Structure 1
């Protein structure tokens, strides 16, 4: 890479990092509220909270890296065109591909980084994030129950707590609905209670309440008052099943492309798993495709010192259109795997179109000498 190319590459690299950091920070502000709630309502330590935030980073990076590198290329090349720097480079005989080389090099780096995220770091982080969240939420000190909300415990229990004393941890106005026995659902209402740990996991001790259970013989609900009643909050079977069964975001590529034929849940979600596997292979291609297309649009046409707003708009709209089409095709491929080739065709076609624009665009001619005034003969 020549000195000029390295000069442009450094600017693009710095702009990409800045754009990515800003976008990640913005996403974290809007999506980490549920993690902050673990500190405010649940008493989770700051160290655990920061660990959870770090484990969320691969997902954020996968989402913002294509936007960051595209924004960096558009900003840097537009500035260099407006300042006349690229015009000077063209006058020195530098062609379209050499002008685009720094942006293409940055796009290749982002593509490789994206592959490392989707194929390894993202599933590893999601696994640890899920396990750590489960530990934090099942810990007594983390206060499993969120106040003012209906909390689902496993598949058969719903718990509502109106308020929690921040000092003692005592609960008030408790409602528990248990459907372990579908024929005889149980509803527990208590004025107050507290959570304690046990060998079998966390449990809630309800005080001064009533149990309501349907009597199938009489068809009536029979309330039974109590002074103290213990409600287990750990559904071991559901937790074991949840931890043993990995979601698509927690799986590595082979587990997605070749679901377990002996797992009923894998076979039920076969299309979703296979689509997610191919998505891991196609999504990292998009940053390179976007950059090639944007550079093709931006570097084509004539020089305009007033800016390239129209070409930037065309490039941005093209990227948005490809991204929207990619998401739509991925959604449809979940139900029809015959559409999987389209997931590969979109980034490849976008790349081909971008290179075609770069190679076929008219080369600018810079005059070798100043134009002569009209009517004057050469000396």
Structure 2
């Protein structure tokens, strides 16, 4: 069982992390909402899709935010406890740096488990659904192109009018005109269907009017198909990006897929980055703890220790990003990616546990003279 001190520190870090994470998620969602709203207006999607897309986009940026937020929460908590002399009292009570660091370690470990659930499952699962919504919105005729009660110019020569949309794929009162072929089609109703060639409209109970050689030819039909010039669904041809893949698909790309072969090293590098990213939830807080606990307490504040921790965190993350991109071209750098995480953690453990305890300052005897 956790000691009271460890539990107290872990809860302090957890509460700060929770509030900061919610705030950062709301901020990122607000920034992304501009793009989502524009997509909804352009493609005529229902407002519910905005909340759905915002929710699906959360695991991706949350997996990158969580290590940084945990670092900030740990740094803030230990710095506040130092400023309030809580750390000094605990040290005076005989607690070592190792015992004081346990609370941050527990919070970081729990954050690492949460981040693994994001990177290994929730992020790829949500990205697959997110891309599916975008692809469907861009290829769906009923929501993206056709407008009820309006003449819609699809291509330069093609115009279509829909009196009423009874449902997502059922249309009433259709007028179709192709200027290049001098063809006009009027139909009572139609259904949107997906074919191998792309989206089509199957119309029923209407007539075709073709002007040829100065004469108008009229042909009635019970069923016909309209090709309104849209290409086939890109979803069938779209290559899955790294964010949409689960870990095995990243570490073992398909050797029969030309796109996978072309991006072979990049996919593997992204797979190892997916493994390492959650470990930063533990590595970065340890950097903060080691920086604050290994220095002398000063009433003037812990500016030097805080600055050292922030610089260490930035160097660590920047190296991780650079190495991930570089390893996509040079696979030997994968070992350096792991060293970039392991070495700071070992150094932090040494600063917390390995160094000798700081000697307590001498106290002058009462009545002694300088």
- Secondary structure, aligned partner of 1:232: coil
Query: Which stretch of structure 1 is more off in the superposition, 8-17 or 259-268?
Result: 259-268
Q: Answer yes or no: is 1:232 the counterpart of 2:229.
A: yes
Q: How far does residue 91 in structure 1 lie from its aligned partner after superposition?
A: 0.3
The answer for the alignment partner of 1:35 in structure 2 is 36
- Secondary structure, aligned partner of 2:237: helix
CA distance in 1, matches of 2:316, 2:334: 16
Could you tell me which of 277, 282, 289 is aligned with 2:283? 289
98 and 258 in structure 1: CA distance in 2 versus 1, 3 angstrom threshold: same
Q: Answer yes or no: is 1:267 the counterpart of 2:261.
A: yes
The answer for the alignment partner of 2:205 in structure 1 is none
- Secondary structure, aligned partner of 1:284: helix
Could you tell me which of 301, 306, 314 is aligned with 2:308? 314
Pairwise CA RMSD: 3.0
CA distance in 1, matches of 2:91, 2:14: 22
Please show how residues 7-18 of structure 1 align to structure 2 within 5 Å: 7-18=8-19
Render the CA deviation track for 1:108-155: whole Å, top value 9, x for unaligned.
11111111111111111111111122223333443259xxxxxxxxxx
Q: How far does residue 368 in structure 1 lie from its aligned partner after superposition?
A: 10
Query: Which stretch of structure 1 is more off in the superposition, 79-88 or 293-302?
Result: 293-302
342 and 322 in structure 1: CA distance in 2 versus 1, 3 angstrom threshold: same
The answer for the alignment partner of 1:353 in structure 2 is 347
CA distance in 2, matches of 1:371, 1:27: 58
CA distance in 1, matches of 2:122, 2:294: 38
Structure 2 length-normalised TM = 0.77
**Any conservation in 2 of the 1:39–1:49 contact (CA below 8 Å)?**
yes
Unaligned runs of 5+ in 2: 183-225
Please show how residues 330-345 of structure 1 align to structure 2 within 5 Å: 330-345=324-339
- Secondary structure, aligned partner of 1:231: coil
Q: Answer yes or no: is 1:254 the counterpart of 2:248.
A: yes
**Any conservation in 2 of the 1:90–1:364 contact (CA below 8 Å)?**
no
Unaligned runs of 5+ in 1: 146-165, 177-188, 212-228
209 and 27 in structure 1: CA distance in 2 versus 1, 3 angstrom threshold: farther
Query: Which stretch of structure 1 is more off in the superposition, 102-111 or 364-373?
Result: 364-373
- Secondary structure, aligned partner of 2:44: coil
Render the CA deviation track for 1:252-275: whole Å, top value 9, x for unaligned.
111111111222221111111111
Q: Answer yes or no: is 1:300 the counterpart of 2:294.
A: yes
Q: How many equivalent pairs are there?
A: 319
- Secondary structure, aligned partner of 2:228: strand
368 and 3 in structure 1: CA distance in 2 versus 1, 3 angstrom threshold: farther
The answer for the alignment partner of 1:183 in structure 2 is none
Please show how residues 134-283 of structure 1 align to structure 2 within 5 Å: 134-144=135-145, 168-171=149-152, 176=155, 189=156, 231-236=228-233, 238-242=234-238, 245-283=239-277
The answer for the alignment partner of 1:65 in structure 2 is 66
**Any conservation in 2 of the 1:91–1:366 contact (CA below 8 Å)?**
no
Q: How far does residue 340 in structure 1 lie from its aligned partner after superposition?
A: 0.9
Query: Which stretch of structure 1 is more off in the superposition, 94-103 or 275-284?
Result: 275-284
CA distance in 2, matches of 1:371, 1:40: 78
The answer for the alignment partner of 2:216 in structure 1 is none
Structure 1 length-normalised TM = 0.76
The answer for the alignment partner of 1:123 in structure 2 is 124
- Secondary structure, aligned partner of 1:15: helix
Q: How far does residue 210 in structure 1 lie from its aligned partner after superposition?
A: 10
CA distance in 2, matches of 1:204, 1:332: 56
The answer for the alignment partner of 1:46 in structure 2 is 47
CA distance in 2, matches of 1:262, 1:143: 34
Query: Which stretch of structure 1 is more off in the superposition, 87-96 or 307-316?
Result: 307-316
- Secondary structure, aligned partner of 1:283: helix
Q: How far does residue 194 in structure 1 lie from its aligned partner after superposition?
A: 5.5
